[in-house]
Amino acid sequence: MTIKNLLSAVALFAASVTTASAATYAYTGDPNRVGNGGSVSALSSTYNSDTERLTWSVSDAKTANGNAADGFWLVINGSGPNPKSIAPNTLAVLYADFSSSKLLAYSYNAQNNTSSVAGTLLQDFSSDLSVSGDTFGFDIDVSGLNNMFAAPWEGMAYGDLIGVWFHFSSGTSLTPGQSFNFRQQAWYDTAFEKPEQTTVVPIPAAAFLFAPVLAGFIATRRRLKAK
């Protein structure tokens, strides 16, 4: 391969990295927004619209009286404001119970309660549930969930905009297909009036990984020419 060809390959790779970076979005929640006497120290999420990979992470989540969270439910609306304002069976809802290591997806019925869990299980993400110390969350592939039904179904995708309905609970008990119960809950909800902006995640310039290869190639060429 000539230096010219190698440089062209690096340029093409760099262009692909730039394109990929525009498909990764991040959302950082405001801990001061937590309601009903609860608290968190951090809340964050990322979504890649190419790979349809969704992450969610929460630290130091406590309900009233300082009880540590041991479960949650979550709905994400990527096309509008708070999910409770959308038509039924448009979005997915995740239910988590740490004691039974369950993370299950159902179709959200747009009601302000946990009754969606009485529906049909759409996907089991239990193996992707992560609970480590004071931090819990997941890193899941939602491509199957997002494409499970025809429009207006959206699943759990988001891009430039996001709406969130997130409740975490203590004393949680999840019975799949029947009920989600708890002793206490706290919530983090975005506004009903409008969605919130996300940010584009900059991917490190992976093209520079080729720099040592390019430097070595040039050095070898120079040594050969010097002989």
pLDDT tens-digit profile of 23-73? 899 999 999 999 999 999 999 999 999 999 999 999 999 999 999 999 999
Count other C-beta atoms under 10 Å from residue 107's C-beta: 21
According to the model, what pLDDT value does residue 8 have? Answer: 52
Contact at 8 Å (CB) between 70 and 145?
no
Q: Is residue 86 part of a domain?
A: yes
According to the model, what pLDDT value does residue 17 have? Answer: 47
Q: Is residue 15 part of a domain?
A: no
Count other C-beta atoms under 10 Å from residue 169's C-beta: 28
Q: Is residue 124 part of a domain?
A: yes
**Structural domains counted in the chain:** 1
Phi then psi dihedrals of residue 17, to 5 deg: -65, -45
115-171, pLDDT tens digit by residue?
999 999 999 999 999 999 999 999 999 999 999 999 999 999 999 999 999 999 999
Q: Is residue 78 part of a domain?
A: yes
Q: Is residue 111 part of a domain?
A: yes
Range of the domain at 174: 24-202
Rounded CA-CA distance 113/117 in Å is 10
pLDDT band at 212 (very low <50, low <70, confident <90, very high): low
Beta bridge partners of 96: 72, 103
The model carries a pTM of 0.81
Q: Is residue 213 part of a domain?
A: no
**Smallest Cα–Cα separation from 78: which of 108, 102, 113, 47?**
47
Q: Is residue 225 part of a domain?
A: no
Q: Is residue 103 part of a domain?
A: yes
Averaged pLDDT score across all residues of the chain: 87
Phi then psi dihedrals of residue 190, to 5 deg: -80, 170
Count other C-beta atoms under 10 Å from residue 203's C-beta: 15
